[in-house]
């Protein structure tokens, strides 16, 4: 436990000790700002019954931020340690592989959530300038952040896995970007076929992340989505653990 | 539990795809010894150390550290060793004190113990004045000290150092050697190097490796004795050349001799004795008896360099 906490702390602080963390946050903030401008324009046009978070989700900037930042957040986790050789000092300390994987995942997850905090600011800003305080509901915001966290954990566990595979940060980022984009396209495909009655389409429709996230943004917490994304995250973390362990096979 | 033995390696083999890095080696290291793993690059030193530090698995064979199996009880083993890999990798973005604190906590030290130990090792390795500096901006010598401090911070029973002096300037090498020597009383140390004088100066025992095998394992003195059985004796004596040659040819212990004129009226005699005979007292006695001035009498000592070259290049003469 002590090793896990120590490692998590180091991993998280390493984002802020180098420029990387600040660059990722500013890039995300830039995109978030864009989407916010978009959102405000929509609000000016006509009154809408949708919650602000749903309006934000509808701008699609959410997906752009998710797809672009998660590979960058996760690329250094294992690849840099392997490249610089610190992986050796790390693994010869009395720590378990599980602790290492979990601490890296936790730290990048925390950083990811910190990166999304400005969204809360945007929402509160809207709330401040709208006359109706009921326009923004804590439950809806909570559900949106739950959705952001769940999708984030899926993409970040994917990134951990990619980073554990290679010594090169660039390769790690490309692998997780490709797989992330594939998940995105899978969701797109699922979205297209979800109304067709055949079983293949219905099976594919399970991966309609667009729909899931849309629900979260509306304030609807769908347990199917929670279970799916939670178990996919666990699956990728398990895979990462096996990759880290694999050096002890042979 | 095996008493007195820190490392027991038995028939250890490590094969990478298509290449055998370490082939069926066995050796032991007793508690409190400083043992040098010596060999040219690619001899399997680093691989052996990585296996002992539980970073890599062995293909076959077993090894125990402090009585614990390195594969099945790797956690216990890792708690007891301080390992500094080759090239001493560190996190360049951390500060010295912060890094040592992080490592100490990672190795399971309590908060108060961490503070104590970090202060102690920083003092021990002269890092106190750079404790707030960023590791990546330190000179190589200081970084090496940070690595050494890290390997000692949790007071391990065994310290494994892979080429601890590589890339340092002579002054830094000297100070690192001094540091290693200072560990001798309280710790068991296994260091690897391909620099001979280093092993000669710091180690109680040397294990010479070549192409994954152990060629020789003994104390530096014994290795030397092994080689210097029939080393030449050089004597510079002031006497006519013919007289000297006649004298040496009469001596039964002299297997071979060579007399050459040297500076002044002296002659330089190079004498090869029979196995195990020390000619020096005899020569002195003869010189005294005949009243010859004697200005030099030495036995050409085989340096470990010769031993090293000889054992690590076994088939050079055949080639």
pLDDT at A132 over 90: no
The reply to whether residue A92 touches residue B79, judged by beta carbons under 8 angstroms, is no
The arithmetic mean of pLDDT across residues B75-85, rounded, is 91
pLDDT tens by residue, A28-60: 999 998 888 888 887 788 777 777 778 788 778
Sign of CA dihedral B239, B240, B245, B250: negative
pLDDT at B229 over 60: no
Strand B68-69 to B294-299 pairing = unpaired
CATH code of the domain made up of B232-299: 3.30.70
Strand B294-299 to B233-237 pairing = antiparallel
According to the model, what pLDDT value does residue A150 have?
Answer: 94
- Alpha carbon distances (Å) from A26 to A13, A76, A195: 17, 18, 39
Strands (E) across chain A are located at none
The alpha carbon of residue B16 is apart from the nearest alpha carbon of chain A, in Å, by 9
Q: What is the mean pLDDT of chain A?
A: 89
Instruction: Pull the structure tokens for residue B81.
Output: 């060793």
Nearest to B102 among A10, A85, A88 (CB): A10
According to the model, what pLDDT value does residue A219 have?
Answer: 85
What does the alpha-carbon distance between residue B277 and residue B281 come to, in Å, rounded to a whole number? 10
pLDDT tens by residue, A158-206: 999 999 999 999 999 999 999 999 999 999 988 888 888 888 888 888 8
What does the alpha-carbon distance between residue B224 and residue B96 come to, in Å, rounded to a whole number? 42
Nearest to A92 among B55, B94, B105 (CB): B55
According to the model, what pLDDT value does residue B126 have?
Answer: 85
What does the alpha-carbon distance between residue B307 and residue B295 come to, in Å, rounded to a whole number? 29
pLDDT tens by residue, B158-186: 999 998 887 778 887 888 788 888 877 78
Q: Give the pTM.
A: 0.83
According to the model, what pLDDT value does residue B87 have?
Answer: 85
CB A106 within 8 A of CB B97: no
pLDDT tens by residue, B180-191: 888 777 889 998
Q: Collect all residues from A whose CB is shorter than 8 A from any CB in B.
A: 2-3, 6-7, 10, 14, 17-18, 84-86, 88-96, 247-250
CA dihedral A26, A29, A35, A38 (to 10 degrees): -90
Chain CA centroid to CA B201, Å:
7
| Domain boundaries along the sequence of chain B | 5-226, 232-299
What does the alpha-carbon distance between residue B1 and residue A238 come to, in Å, rounded to a whole number? 36
pLDDT tens by residue, B264-285: 888 888 888 777 677 888 888 8
Instruction: Pull the structure tokens for residue A213.
Output: 């996230």
What does the alpha-carbon distance between residue A230 and residue A227 come to, in Å, rounded to a whole number? 5
Which residues in chain B are contacts of A2 at CB distance < 8 A? 105, 108
pLDDT at B129 over 50: yes
pLDDT tens by residue, B100-112: 999 999 999 999 9
According to the model, what pLDDT value does residue A134 have?
Answer: 64
What does the alpha-carbon distance between residue B290 and residue A99 come to, in Å, rounded to a whole number? 82
Q: Collect all residues from B whose CB is shorter than 8 A from any CB in A.
A: 50, 53-57, 59, 75, 78-79, 81, 83-87, 89-94, 102-103, 105-108, 150
Which residues in chain B are contacts of A12 at CB distance < 8 A? none
Give Rg (Cα) of chain B. 25
CATH code of the domain made up of B5-226: 3.40.50.300
Q: What is the ipTM of this complex?
A: 0.86
DSSP 8-state secondary structure symbol assigned to residue B159: E
The alpha carbon of residue A144 is apart from the nearest alpha carbon of chain B, in Å, by 35
- Alpha carbon distances (Å) from A197 to A186, A202, A208, A224: 18, 7, 15, 19
- Alpha carbon distances (Å) from A118 to A53, A140, A181, B18, B180: 13, 16, 24, 54, 52
The percentage of chain B sitting over the pLDDT mark of 90, rounded to a whole number, equals 21
Nearest residue of A to residue B57 by CA position?
Answer: A248
Which residues in chain A are contacts of B89 at CB distance < 8 A? 84-86, 88-89
What does the alpha-carbon distance between residue B142 and residue B139 come to, in Å, rounded to a whole number? 5
């Amino acid at each position: 436990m002590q090793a896990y906490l120590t490692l998590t702390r180091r991993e998280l602080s390493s984002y802020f000790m180098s420029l990387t963390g600040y660059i990722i946050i500013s890039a995300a903030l830039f995109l978030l700002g864009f989407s916010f401008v978009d959102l405000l324009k929509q609000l000016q046009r006509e009154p809408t019954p949708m919650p602000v978070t749903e309006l934000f989700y509808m701008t699609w900037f959410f997906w752009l931020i998710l797809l672009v930042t998660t590979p960058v957040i996760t690329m250094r986790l294992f690849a840099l340690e392997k490249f610089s050789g610190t992986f050796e000092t790390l693994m010869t300390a009395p720590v378990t592989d599980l602790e290492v994987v979990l601490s890296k995942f936790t730290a990048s997850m925390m950083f990811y959530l910190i990166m999304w905090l400005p969204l809360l600011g945007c929402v509160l800003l809207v709330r401040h300038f709208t006359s109706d305080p009921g326009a923004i509901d804590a439950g809806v915001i909570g559900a949106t952040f739950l959705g952001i966290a769940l999708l984030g954990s899926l993409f970040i566990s994917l990134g951990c896995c990619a980073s554990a595979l290679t010594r090169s940060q660039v390769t790690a980022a490309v692998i997780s970007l490709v797989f992330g984009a594939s998940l995105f396209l899978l969701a797109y495909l699922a979205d297209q076929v979800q109304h067709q009655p055949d079983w293949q389409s219905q099976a594919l429709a399970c991966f309609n992340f667009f729909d899931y996230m849309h629900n979260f943004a509306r304030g609807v917490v769908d347990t199917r989505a929670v279970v799916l994304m939670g178990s996919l995250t666990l699956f990728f973390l398990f895979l990462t653990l096996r990759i880290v362990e694999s050096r002890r096979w042979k | 539990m095996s008493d007195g033995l820190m490392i027991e390696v038995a028939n250890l083999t490590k094969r990478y795809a298509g290449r055998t890095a370490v082939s069926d080696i066995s050796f032991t290291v007793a508690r409190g010894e400083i043992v040098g793993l010596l060999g040219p690059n690619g001899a399997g030193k680093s691989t052996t150390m990585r296996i002992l530090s539980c970073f890599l698995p062995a293909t076959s064979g077993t090894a125990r550290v402090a009585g614990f199996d390195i594969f099945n009880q790797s956690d216990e083993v890792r708690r007891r060793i301080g390992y500094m890999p080759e090239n001493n990798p560190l996190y360049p973005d951390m500060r010295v004190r912060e890094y040592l604190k992080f490592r100490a906590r990672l190795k399971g030290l309590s908060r108060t113990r961490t503070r104590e130990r970090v202060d102690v090792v920083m003092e021990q390795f002269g890092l106190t004045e750079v404790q707030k500096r960023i590791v990546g901006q330190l000179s190589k010598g200081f970084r090496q000290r940070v690595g050494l401090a890290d390997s000692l911070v949790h007071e391990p029973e065994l310290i494994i150092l892979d080429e601890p002096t590589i890339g340092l300037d002579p002054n830094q090498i000297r100070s690192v050697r001094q540091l290693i020597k200072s560990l001798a009383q309280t710790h068991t140390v296994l260091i690897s190097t391909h620099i001979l004088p280093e092993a000669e100066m710091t180690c109680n025992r040397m294990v010479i490796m070549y192409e994954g095998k152990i060629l020789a394992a003994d104390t530096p003195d014994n290795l030397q004795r092994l080689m210097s059985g029939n080393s030449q004796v050089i004597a510079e004596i002031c006497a006519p050349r013919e007289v000297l040659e006649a004298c040496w040819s009469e001596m039964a212990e002299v297997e071979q001799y060579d007399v050459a004129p040297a500076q002044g009226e002296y002659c330089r005699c190079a004498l090869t004795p029979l196995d195990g005979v020390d000619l020096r007292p005899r020569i002195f006695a003869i010189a005294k008896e005949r009243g010859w001035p004697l200005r030099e009498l030495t036995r050409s000592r085989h340096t470990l360099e010769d031993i090293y070259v000889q054992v690590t290049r076994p088939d050079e003469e055949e080639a």
